[in-house]
Structure 1
Amino acid sequence: MAMRLQDGSKSLGPKGGRSPLRRHLHGLLTVGLALAGTALYVVSQRSSREGVILSGKEVSRCGKIEPIVPSFKKSVDLILHDAEFKRSSVEKLSKAIQIPTEIWDVNPEPADDPEWYAHFYEFHRFLEQTFPLVHERLTREKVNELGLLYTWEGSEPELKPVLFMAHQDVVPVNKETWDDWEYPPFSGHYDEKSDLVWGRGSNDCKNLLIAELEAIEQLLLDGYQPKRSVILSFGFDEESSGPLGARHLAAFLEDRYGRDGIFSIIDEGFGVLPIDEGLFVASPITAEKGYVDVVVTVNGKGGHSSVPPDHTTIGVASDLITVLEDNPFGPDFELDNPLFSLLTCAAEHSKRLPKDLRKHILRAPKNKASRKMLEKFLSSDVRFRDLIRTTRAVDVFNGGIKANALPEVSTFVVNHRIDIHSSVEETVAADAYFAEKIAKKYGYGFARNGEFSIPETELGYIDVKVAKALEPAPVSPTSGAAWDILAGTIQDVFENGVFAGRDDAELYVSTTLMPANTDTRYYWNLTKNIYRFVASILDASTFETIHSVNESIKASSHLSAIAFIYEYIVNVDENA
């Protein structure tokens, strides 16, 4: 799909930009949309398929979902409201955080360097001691030495299993920032006054891993026997894209269960977000943006710097970088964009949304002028613009080796997060378009992946190559049994559990687009029903500390995650 660039020319692909994740979140929260990072909500619910009249000709697209209440609910109130259970649960999470399972960008194979992974083996021993029933009743297998796979065999093995994911690893803590932490990063400190558990991994994502194990431990203690097998799959290098952990685990599972052999997958993602006072939106992630790293190399001639050419390879590369940054990808905002459904939900229920914006959102389906106003608003605001386009960021540059020697080769890496309407090919083609223009400008040849469209000249040539690529994830369904059970379970856990006794609390269930990628990138073949969700109430402070100083999570939010997993396992058995 050709798209018009800001310089007025045509491109084979979309345009890109860059904006920090936390800046997006902070800005979106301040306007009452409570987006997690660059999250986009899609409103999809079972009980309002036909819509209801709001006022005049406005039709609701964001109705309430009916809660699914399981018949086996023995310990949900205990999990959510018992002081002793909370104390014990906090202690488990705290001790998990105290084991520094840091992972780096480049890591050895576990079998080649066990010492590198010493803390992971310590973490495995901790899990064995902390969850005795899980290790007694479930089958534990290790994949590629450190990947953990637990299987709770169901009574009806012909049913597709339900799969829960999490990762054991955490991002490293910069030693220079340790003194900036309110409590040491691997202390697992619990502050009763704030109800916060502090430490690296408290929110990404040892909280989810411990919640999954704790929910199953409690189900075992309660005497529950699932009809459908339950699987836990824990990678160990998600923070370096999962090549050693999740990739092997997914292949192992596909070999055992086959393509589309799993009923549903729950992995880390967003949670329940407060929008207004008493108004909450639960936001499972149903899609992830794509990813591509493009390596651009300017190959030139060397020589002594006392007799330089008009432009060195560094100069040519710098001009190309400037052109790329000056020509970001244009917006691709359509009414089928998940963002529009979020805006619709906010327009119907939030009291903080500006009146004019609310008017344009509600009129957009039938009014072209309102659609244009929405696109203009979203694309002109730094808090929103990257939500509706592919992004482009030049992150690595290398050129030259000595002050008096001309740089023969200059190379830079461009990272992109690909819009769900685009593709790797479309994105790379856009970069190649500008690279070829610069090659012509300076009299260089041009090649893409080694194939020349302009022959190499006496000055050199520019080459564009793909280093790492991932298409946008398939969009998980928001209708059918898997979605209905997920949404209905969320509604029950919060409406009848977390918010029990609160007349002012109102919850709606929507979905979210993920700007980054989780370990689920390797699991696409196993099921179309992939939902990235942690049933925790989140706020701005939660997101501001992800991968940063003072990472923390509220203990009460950790308990709601346990309750959700407990109920979801039962609800799948009873309703699928």
Structure 2
Amino acid sequence: MAIRLEDKSLESGRKCSGLKRHWKLLAALGSVLALGTILTGETSTNSLAEKSSRCGKVEPLVPNFNRSLDLILHDPEFKKFSIEKLSKAIQIPTEIKDVNPQPADDPEYYAEFYKFHGFLEKTFPLVHKNLKVEKVNELGLLYTWQGSEEDLKPVLFMAHQDVVPVNRVTWDSWEYPPFSGHYDEETDIIWGRGSNDCKNLLIAELEAIEQLLDDDYKPKRTILLSFGFDEESSGLLGAQTLAPFIEKRYGKDSIFSIIDEGFGIAPVDKGVYVASPINAEKGYVDVIVTVNGKGGHSSVPPEHTTIGVAADLVTVLEDHPFDPDFQIDNPIFSLLTCAAEHSNKVPRHLRNHIIKAPKSKLSSKLLQKALMKDSRFRDLIRTTRAVDIFNGGIKANALPEVTSFLINHRVEIHSSVEATVDQDLQYAEQIAKKYGYGLHHNGEFIIPATELGYIDIKVVKSLEPAPVSPSSGPVWEILAGTIQNVFENGVFVNQDDAELYVSTALMSGNTDTRYYWNLTKNIYRFTASIADGTVLKTIHSVNEHVNADSHLSAIAFIYNYIVNVDEYAKQ
């Protein structure tokens, strides 16, 4: 009998998308020393007397309309009410599972989401009075703040309403109950599921617009907010319906820029910070491998059952990982460059290889070797595969007729889904020949089926690597200049020794932006918050939390960016 592969939910502590895992990369920049040790065996600090200009200081972009930036960042009353809003948002447990019904088919299933909508209406009265609010597929939220000049491309901000479930077994391990939204005044921390993924961003976007409305701001350019409700289960019901809805209204390449959840700002040395908007995502492909064989009584087994054949193929696949393909156009190189130029923690030899990599094949190779030795960077320069589900056999005394397993791949940005599957096929062909099996893929037999059976390779879900968004030009300059202004002239205004640099970054997972590629080439995944190790380790896990001041900087960025795009951007 055929064995059906079923979706299996992972506990919230184990389920971790590329975004959440590679948030940790920012924290890792402070310890790039480890890479230097791998490469050179040295741990001494280097002189920064000679600096290249690849990670120079960006000029702050200061808007003429600058009414509330200081209020948002430094006013105690504003902070108090901002904390209260995020805290109450966290208290509504909008958990989403891996497989979910259509909202119209089971409204009760989504009761907390309807409650969340009511909370937003009550909490942001000016937004709901002045913006058009539409519900797409019942729960997806699209806010439209109509600009005065319809020929200008709209700016689109994204976030998601849902949060990963809290494993009830871990409930007692939380410092404070996971849906309490508790604020600890002594540590300036807001606790709870969704505090950092990503109700903080959703609330920040609404708070920024509420404040702009209170300031009587009149946008020239239309502002859109698009909030999905199942990002943590791939956005199949939310973003996948919101994106075409927006595209139908505005057309292809109709949006000036998109801002969604992503990396923030990380300290790389004392007083030195790097902001890292993500401008690329790896691709994705799931492959189901099915070994079809003969059944029978287990008392007279063949030399290898279908489970044995499948196990050998798994071993071969795991023993032959994809080769790295580090190239300097990988967005992570920009991040490494900023660390090399501005952090005393990067050893001299490693720094030199980073700086020389664009012109030296040897330095580029040695840098690739170092990156491959560190798990925080390794998977950003190669395609990965992970065997995540394995099914075979139904009874102790019956030979397994069918054994199946699922391989999840994250596709390197210079590769493709086809190239990834082709490599799986090469090893499947090797195993098929070894055991006398046929090989089937894409509706045809590569090797004819034999009396023993055949191996089938089937692609069930795929996504090519995301287009790499520009890291230069007018759209990027407004983004980078806004980040620089918010932190240099706002967050760090009383810190004389603080320095901020802006780089790009890469993510191995996929956000809801995967459905929005047709709308613009300018997609940046960025949350304007300062990251630290304790915050990053708790995303999708126990004790998720966010620093209250970091939440304020996210609000300030959205506020400033809307105004800057109006003032400085052309069509």
C-alpha deviation, 1:55, in angstroms:
6.0
Q: Tell me which residue corresponds to 2:247.
A: 254
Q: Tell me which residue corresponds to 1:513.
A: 506
Aligned counterpart for 2:321 among listed residues 325, 328, 333: 328
Aligned counterpart for 2:466 among listed residues 466, 473, 490: 473
Instruction: Say which SS state the counterpart of residue 388 (structure 1) adopts.
Output: coil
Q: Tell me which residue corresponds to 1:500.
A: 493
C-alpha deviation, 1:252, in angstroms:
0.4
Alignment partner of 1:128 is 2:128: no
Task: Give per-residue Cα distances to partners, 1:176-223, cap 9 Å, x unaligned.
Answer: 000010000000000011111000000000000000000000100110
1:127 alignment partner AA: L
Alignment partner of 1:361 is 2:354: yes
Alignment partner of 1:68 is 2:61: yes
Q: Tell me which residue corresponds to 1:410.
A: 403
Q: Tell me which residue corresponds to 1:537.
A: 530
Alignment partner of 1:170 is 2:157: no
Alignment partner of 1:448 is 2:441: yes
C-alpha deviation, 1:134, in angstroms:
0.5
Alignment map for 1:547-566 (pairs within 5 Å): 547-566=540-559
Q: Tell me which residue corresponds to 1:288.
A: 281
User: C-alpha distance in 1, partners of 2:26/2:562?
Assistant: 33
Task: Give per-residue Cα distances to partners, 1:484-523, cap 9 Å, x unaligned.
Answer: 1111000000000000021110000111111100000000
Task: Give per-residue Cα distances to partners, 1:535-558, cap 9 Å, x unaligned.
Answer: 111111111001000000000000
Alignment map for 1:10-21 (pairs within 5 Å): none
Aligned counterpart for 2:220 among listed residues 196, 215, 227: 227
2:165 alignment partner AA: P
C-alpha deviation, 1:32, in angstroms:
1.8
Alignment map for 1:92-131 (pairs within 5 Å): 92-131=85-124
Q: Tell me which residue corresponds to 1:89.
A: 82
Once structures 1 and 2 are overlaid, which stretch shifts more, 409-418 or 364-373? Answer: 364-373
Alignment partner of 1:423 is 2:416: yes
Instruction: Say which SS state the counterpart of residue 504 (structure 2) adopts.
Output: strand
Q: Tell me which residue corresponds to 1:573.
A: 566
Aligned counterpart for 2:380 among listed residues 365, 370, 387: 387
Task: Give per-residue Cα distances to partners, 1:41-60, cap 9 Å, x unaligned.
Answer: xxxxxxxxxxxxx867x632
C-alpha deviation, 1:365, in angstroms:
3.0
Q: Tell me which residue corresponds to 2:72.
A: 79
Unpaired runs of at least 5, structure 1: 1-17, 36-53
TM-score, normalised relative to structure 2: 0.92
C-alpha deviation, 1:33, in angstroms:
5.8
User: C-alpha distance in 1, partners of 2:433/2:549?
Assistant: 61
User: C-alpha distance in 2, partners of 1:410/1:130?
Assistant: 53
Q: Tell me which residue corresponds to 1:41.
A: none
Contact 1:34/1:274 (CA < 8 Å) preserved in 2?
Answer: no
2:146 alignment partner AA: E
User: C-alpha distance in 2, partners of 1:545/1:330?
Assistant: 31
User: C-alpha distance in 2, partners of 1:470/1:30?
Assistant: 28
Task: Give per-residue Cα distances to partners, 1:265-315, cap 9 Å, x unaligned.
Answer: 111111111111100001111010000001000000111101111000000
Aligned counterpart for 1:338 among listed residues 325, 331, 337: 331
1:236 alignment partner AA: F
Once structures 1 and 2 are overlaid, which stretch shifts more, 359-368 or 248-257? Answer: 359-368
C-alpha deviation, 1:355, in angstroms:
1.6
CA 1:473 to 1:95, structure 2 compared with 1: closer, same or farther past 3 Å? same
Contact 1:450/1:463 (CA < 8 Å) preserved in 2?
Answer: no
Instruction: Say which SS state the counterpart of residue 489 (structure 1) adopts.
Output: helix
Alignment partner of 1:32 is 2:30: yes
Aligned counterpart for 2:192 among listed residues 188, 196, 199: 199
Aligned CA-pair RMSD: 1.8
CA 1:22 to 1:144, structure 2 compared with 1: closer, same or farther past 3 Å? closer
Instruction: Say which SS state the counterpart of residue 517 (structure 2) adopts.
Output: coil
Instruction: Say which SS state the counterpart of residue 345 (structure 1) adopts.
Output: helix
C-alpha deviation, 1:371, in angstroms:
2.3
C-alpha deviation, 1:146, in angstroms:
0.4
Aligned counterpart for 2:480 among listed residues 473, 479, 487: 487
CA 1:527 to 1:106, structure 2 compared with 1: closer, same or farther past 3 Å? same
Q: Tell me which residue corresponds to 1:240.
A: 233
2:30 alignment partner AA: G
User: C-alpha distance in 1, partners of 2:109/2:454?
Assistant: 42
Instruction: Say which SS state the counterpart of residue 375 (structure 2) adopts.
Output: coil
Instruction: Say which SS state the counterpart of residue 395 (structure 1) adopts.
Output: strand
TM-score, normalised relative to structure 1: 0.91
CA 1:33 to 1:509, structure 2 compared with 1: closer, same or farther past 3 Å? farther
1:516 alignment partner AA: G
2:435 alignment partner AA: Y
Contact 1:28/1:383 (CA < 8 Å) preserved in 2?
Answer: no
User: C-alpha distance in 1, partners of 2:304/2:214?
Assistant: 72
User: C-alpha distance in 2, partners of 1:529/1:31?
Assistant: 26
User: C-alpha distance in 2, partners of 1:352/1:451?
Assistant: 55
Instruction: Say which SS state the counterpart of residue 179 (structure 1) adopts.
Output: helix
Contact 1:211/1:558 (CA < 8 Å) preserved in 2?
Answer: yes
User: C-alpha distance in 2, partners of 1:191/1:34?
Assistant: 32
C-alpha deviation, 1:168, in angstroms:
0.3
Task: Give per-residue Cα distances to partners, 1:151-194, cap 9 Å, x unaligned.
Answer: 01111112111111000000000000000100000000000111
Q: Tell me which residue corresponds to 1:44.
A: none
CA 1:96 to 1:539, structure 2 compared with 1: closer, same or farther past 3 Å? same
User: C-alpha distance in 2, partners of 1:291/1:544?
Assistant: 24
2:196 alignment partner AA: N
Alignment partner of 1:141 is 2:134: yes
Once structures 1 and 2 are overlaid, which stretch shifts more, 344-353 or 106-115? Answer: 344-353
Instruction: Say which SS state the counterpart of residue 165 (structure 1) adopts.
Output: strand
1:32 alignment partner AA: G
Alignment map for 1:198-217 (pairs within 5 Å): 198-217=191-210
1:85 alignment partner AA: F
Q: Tell me which residue corresponds to 1:303.
A: 296
Contact 2:166/2:178 (CA < 8 Å) preserved in 1?
Answer: yes
User: C-alpha distance in 2, partners of 1:22/1:289?
Assistant: 14
Contact 2:32/2:346 (CA < 8 Å) preserved in 1?
Answer: no
